[in-house]
Amino acid sequence: MAEQRPSVQEMIANAGAKRNRKTLEKAIPVVLFIIAAISVLTTLGIVFTLIVETFIFFTEVPFFSFLFGTEWLPFSNTEARFGILPLIVGTLKVTFIAVIVAVPLGLSAAIYLSEYASDTARRIIKPILEVLAGVPTIVYGYFALTFVTPVLQQFIPELKIFNAISPGIVVGIMIIPMIASLSEDAMSAVPNSIREGALGMGSTRLEVALKIVLPAALSGILASIVLAMSRAIGETMIVSLAAGSTPRFDGQFTDSIQTMTAYIVQVATGDAGYGTTIYYSIYAVGFTLFLFTLVMNLLAQRISKRFREEY
Amino acid sequence: MRYMNNEAVMKKMNSRKIVNLIFKGIFLFATILALMTLAVLFYRILSQGIGYLSWDFFNNFASRFPEKAGIKAALIGSIWLMAVVAPVSMFLGIGSAIYLEEYAKKNKINDFIRVNISNLAGVPSVVFGLLGLTIFVRALALGNSVLAAGFTMSLLILPVIIVASQEAIRAVPSEVRAASYGMGATKWQTITRVVLPSAIPGILTGSILALSRAIGETAPLVVIGVPVIIQFLPSGVFDTFTALPMQIYDWAKRPQADFQNVASAGIIVLMSVLLLMNSVAILIRNKFQKRY
């Protein structure tokens, strides 16, 4: 053993290496901090980009006619109009239908998984829901255009090829896993002792679910719905493929519409040149979209913090 | 003297039990309905596209004729894209996670970084496309190259990788770290030789799942201006390229029914790649995950 131990001379020689190690130990946190700061730079980059290009847009189009204008005719030869309201209405139509589809189904799935399902059922259902969440949106878009729309046309004869209903339903299907899994998390966080107390008083499982668990998990459930709505608002490929490109400021669901995201895609795939008003308009629309989703995300965080019940 | 009207109680009890059963049925039905749509989607795509899968489909470039259209450029392009996204996003993501979990003290700057990451995860992918278009395509003059798209996608999935890596690092118990310090190891030695080796399966699983999201993501590529009709393969990261979801998008929006079947075939390829990546992720999780 003794000869394996380093001699004093070797230890002195090693001291230099140790000093190197010390500078390394000091440098590493700095390097890692810079890496971690890149995510902040990304956010700043997004905000900066959107603000600068949107500002240029507003030098060409007055702010109020953008915000309150009810006509979106960017490609008009005579007089282009940039009123964002039709695009917002289109986005809200799709989101509205998505919520109608996803909230009942997602919440039912969450209640079933957290209050009724056996361990085996849960082990089978949860991975399938995860697969549903992992399907690329382009695949959902294809499904909406080539399957859901033709099927719906059997029931609603006046439904056009491009409409708000079919992509709305499919966006709803897309956000079901989000509502189901986040709500289930919130409901599973309700302690079992409360459940058992209610069951011991003679409640049925339904009564436990609706009167005990649901109110206790309400903040998490509401947050999941708001987050899912934010996802629906930002969804791009489903609406680009199946909702059409006709901005309209009315209550029509069966005709071609256009959402904010679909307009950005339309311009990006079109031949509008760099530096034209149309080019800058996608930043103004993108900025509006960004603000919508940011507000929804902050709202979701606020809800889940504010109304959380601590056990 | 009777305090309870047993008959009335039983009657009420029975009706409550029946209501409970009915609702259980409704909840189960709703869950199965959601799962059924997945089955319908898979069946629909398989039945339409399987006939177009052939050697030629993998070996042909895009074409005006549906029977000659192939996916070669898109498949190779997606692999090129992943070759940029995987190292960049994992380097940034794991680095950020190590900083946040091992070094970051509780102060305003680090809190801001944390809040920022969770908000970044909620930004729509199409907005990331606008960022990529302005910064990478125009300002850095990378054009619609593999590199520009790769950087954009890396930033898009960065929050997912950071969160997954943070969870994996947090799962390593502090006793193990303490033991390492007790043996005289420095902080960085402890991280590289003790923490990371036991966190790496979790980090890899999360990263592969994030990459599989990047490979199916379309909107940022569309906004960046990635073309679809490409008759050559990229030979470097500065070359222009196309990717699987872009190609599928192009086929799906063509009016001819034949091209929609070609799109189905493309979707089968894309979903197979995703399935493969997810299987690898699950395999790593089950095989290498350490339980303390």
* CA-based nearest residue in chain A for residue B124: A234
Which residues from chain A sit within 8 angstroms of residue B129, using beta carbons?
A: 264, 268
Candidate from B17, B100, B116 with C-beta closest to A204? B17
Q: Tens digit of pLDDT for each residue in A28-52? A: 999 999 999 999 999 999 999 999 9
Rounded-to-integer distance, Cα B37 and Cα A256, Å = 24
Torsion sign (Cα): A250, A256, A259, A265: negative
pLDDT in the model for residue A13: 67
Q: Which of A195-204, B159-168, B280-289 bottoms out in mean pLDDT, i.e. has the lowest?
A: B280-289
Candidates 1.10.240.10, 1.20.1250.20, 3.40.50.20, 1.10.3720.10; CATH matching B56-288: 1.10.3720.10
Chain B within 8 Å of A201 (Cβ-Cβ)? Answer: no
Does residue B223 contact residue A265 with C-beta atoms inside 8 Å? yes
Rounded-to-integer distance, Cα B225 and Cα B242, Å = 10
Chain A within 8 Å of B113 (Cβ-Cβ)? Answer: yes
Chain B within 8 Å of A264 (Cβ-Cβ)? Answer: yes
Does the domain spanning A73-306 belong to CATH 1.10.3720.10? yes
- What's the maximum distance between 2 C-alpha atoms anywhere in chain A? 94
Q: Do A36 and B252 touch (CB under 8 A)?
A: no
Rounded-to-integer distance, Cα B44 and Cα A41, Å = 43
pLDDT in the model for residue A272: 75
Return averaged pLDDT per consecutive 10 residues of chain A, 311 residues in all: 64 69 86 93 94 93 89 83 93 96 95 93 89 92 94 92 94 95 92 92 92 92 95 95 90 91 92 84 95 94 75 60
**pTM for the whole thing?**
0.90
Q: Do A45 and B131 touch (CB under 8 A)?
A: yes
Candidate from B48, B125, B130 with C-beta closest to A283? B130
User: Which of A20, A22, A42 best probes binding to B when mutated, by most B CB atoms within 10 angstroms?
Assistant: A42
* CA-based nearest residue in chain A for residue B21: A206
Q: Do B116 and A39 touch (CB under 8 A)?
A: yes
* CA-based nearest residue in chain A for residue B27: A108
Label residue A72 left, alpha or beta by phi (over 0 means left) and psi (-120 to 50 means alpha). Answer: beta
| Nearest CA distance, A254 vs chain B (angstrom) | 19
Q: Tens digit of pLDDT for each residue in B180-197? A: 999 989 899 999 999 999
Q: Do A265 and B38 touch (CB under 8 A)?
A: no
Cβ within 8 Å of A, B 270-289? 270-271, 274, 278
Chain B within 8 Å of A305 (Cβ-Cβ)? Answer: no
First to last CA, chain B: 61
pLDDT in the model for residue B235: 85
pLDDT in the model for residue A309: 61
Mean pLDDT of B114-121: 90
H/E run at residue B220: helix B219-224
The answer, yes or no, to whether residue B289 has pLDDT greater than 70, is no
Q: Do B122 and A28 touch (CB under 8 A)?
A: no
| Nearest CA distance, B118 vs chain A (angstrom) | 9
Q: Which of B60-64, B126-130, B262-266 bottoms out in mean pLDDT, i.e. has the lowest?
A: B60-64
First to last CA, chain A: 57
Give the pLDDT band of residue B292 (cuts 50, 70, 90). Answer: low
pLDDT in the model for residue A74: 86
- Provide the pairing of β-strand A72-73 with A81-82: antiparallel
Q: Do B33 and A105 touch (CB under 8 A)?
A: yes
Which residues from chain A sit within 8 angstroms of residue B217, using beta carbons?
A: 136-137
Q: How many CB pairs under 8 A join A and B?
A: 243
Residue A211 tokens read as 């009167």
CA A214 to chain centroid: 24
| Nearest CA distance, A16 vs chain B (angstrom) | 16
List helix spans (H) across B50-120. Answer: 55-59, 72-98, 108-120
Which residues from chain A sit within 8 angstroms of residue B41, using beta carbons?
A: 135, 139-140, 143, 147
Residue found by looking up tokens 């380097």 in the block: B91
pLDDT in the model for residue A1: 46
Look up the ipTM and state it. 0.91
Chain A within 8 Å of B228 (Cβ-Cβ)? Answer: no
Q: Do A261 and B124 touch (CB under 8 A)?
A: yes
DSSP symbols for B134-190:
IIIIIIT---SBHHHHHHHHHHHHHHHHHHHHHHHHHTS-HHHHHHHHHTT--HHHH
Give the pLDDT band of residue B60 (cuts 50, 70, 90). Answer: confident
Q: Tens digit of pLDDT for each residue in B221-279? A: 999 988 887 878 888 888 888 999 999 999 998 888 888 889 999 999 999 999 999 88
Does residue B241 contact residue B266 with C-beta atoms inside 8 Å? no
Which residues from chain B sit within 8 angstroms of residue A233, using beta carbons?
A: 124
Q: Do B270 and A136 touch (CB under 8 A)?
A: yes
Q: Do A234 and B127 touch (CB under 8 A)?
A: yes
